[in-house]
Amino acid sequence: MLGAMRFCGHRPGIAARVGRCFVIWLALASGLLFLDHLTSTAGDASPVGIELVGEAHAQYTGGSMGGGGFSGGGSSYSGGSSYSGGSSYSGGYSSGGSGGDIGFFIALFVLAVIISIVKQKAAAAGHGGGLGDNRIDVTVLRVAVDWRERKFLQNELNRIAQSANTSNNEGLVRMLRQATVALRRVHETWLYADIVNTDPMPPQQAEAFFHKHAAQARASFREELIRNAEGHTSTLEASNIEARYDEGEGLVVVTLAVAAHVPLIDYADIADGEQVRRCLEGLSNISASTLAAVEIVWTPAAESDRLSSAELEVLFPTMKKIPGGSLAGRTLCEYCGGPFPAELLTCPHCGAKVDTEAL
């Protein structure tokens, strides 16, 4: 009897045992809720950058080419970690509190499993390797090239659009590489740039985000002189446009919207030409098996349709000047106060020279 009393004296009370169970299940529930939150929000579009095109008058002409799809082509991970079972012990003697201790260690084990799964999902949503759960990464890069290579780039993009096979991923990848090579060849004339990135997201959300920005780029002009998409090419003669003196020799803006089943280079903002180069290099390395979709848009497309830097800053307000680029941007004449693009070097209103040292 005395031994039995000692044994009972070491057993925890009912309130203590209930409290321990409550703590265990609270920890498990918290871990599972966190995991559910991670999986439910990982697919939300979370732009790192900001919107590209603001409200402004459209340029006259442009061109575009692209294609692809979001229903397949990426790596898909399906599976999970399942633990089912229990610990059962039947004997003539049980040490005091052993059941609670076993439950506590089981809870620690399950929490360790949850933490491991969380880390795996975070790694899958980050950089390196393919994207888990068939998620798709989207990047929209926009680059403006100045008047020194504007005509060359327009002709090169038009040539690519005329010959590109946009009916399959092999042709789309070749088209993307040719466009990135053309842009890298004129790196000394990069003048403005902008970028928008997202976290990898499910195909349906990625498709909506991609098409939103592709349509936004194509809406920046009124007449599409050439369009090559999904294996079909259409052309249009440009309207009678006369180049104006106050627009200068003009710039060309190229937009590359790319969706892939692998991580793409992300920048919160384009700070210099080196970041533009890295983005272009990364996009040119995408393979046919990992490409989801691509859209390449440029404006203006006609030789006589000119876009000055002052007009660019209105039409594409989020594009920023690349350090070390040519003299450009909207400026005010020191004599008459009239606005004009700095690349003219002379005020078109009164003829006063631009003070280049003050800019």
Summarised one tens digit per residue, pLDDT across range 59-81 is 899 999 999 999 754 333 223 33
Residue 166 DSSP class: T
Q: Distance between CA 261 and CA 290 in Å, rounded?
A: 5
Least confident of 92-101, 131-140, 228-237: 92-101
- Do 154 and 271 lie in one domain? The reply is yes
- Do 304 and 338 lie in one domain? The reply is no
- Do 70 and 208 lie in one domain? The reply is yes
Single-letter amino acid, residue 57: H
Q: Which domain holds residue 30?
A: 1-40+89-129
Cβ atoms of residues 201 and 135 within 8 Å: yes
275 within domain boundaries: yes
118 within domain boundaries: yes
CA 78 vs CA 31, 134, 187, 205: distances in Å? 21, 9, 43, 19
Over residues 142-164, the mean pLDDT reads 97
Confidence tier at 131 by pLDDT (50, 70, 90): low
- Do 212 and 278 lie in one domain? The reply is yes
250 within domain boundaries: yes
Over residues 230-242, the mean pLDDT reads 93
Q: Which is nearest to 166 in space by CA: 249, 234, 97?
A: 234
- Do 203 and 240 lie in one domain? The reply is yes
- What is the phi-psi region of residue 85: left when phi exceeds 0, alpha when psi lies from -120 to 50, beta otherwise? left
- Do 93 and 226 lie in one domain? The reply is no
- What is the phi-psi region of residue 70: left when phi exceeds 0, alpha when psi lies from -120 to 50, beta otherwise? alpha
Torsion sign (Cα): 171, 183, 253, 63: negative
pLDDT at 194: 96
pLDDT at 24: 58
Q: Distance between CA 212 and CA 138 in Å, rounded?
A: 11
pTM of the model: 0.66
- Do 249 and 357 lie in one domain? The reply is no
Q: Distance between CA 325 and CA 319 in Å, rounded?
A: 14
The total of structural domains in the chain comes to 3
Q: Distance between CA 354 and CA 331 in Å, rounded?
A: 9
Bridge partners of residue 139, in order along the sequence? 197, 258
- Check whether 175 has a pLDDT greater than 80: yes
pLDDT at 300: 97
- Check whether 317 has a pLDDT greater than 80: yes
46 within domain boundaries: no
- Percent of the chain predicted with pLDDT > 90: 49
- Do 168 and 276 lie in one domain? The reply is yes
| Beta strands at 221-229 and 59-68: parallel, antiparallel or unpaired | parallel
Q: Distance between CA 160 and CA 144 in Å, rounded?
A: 18
- Do 276 and 143 lie in one domain? The reply is yes
The DSSP code sequence of 210-255 is HHHHHHHHHTTEEEEEEEEETTEEEE-PPP-----GGGTT--EEEE
- Check whether 345 has a pLDDT greater than 90: no
Q: What does the mean pLDDT of the chain come to?
A: 75
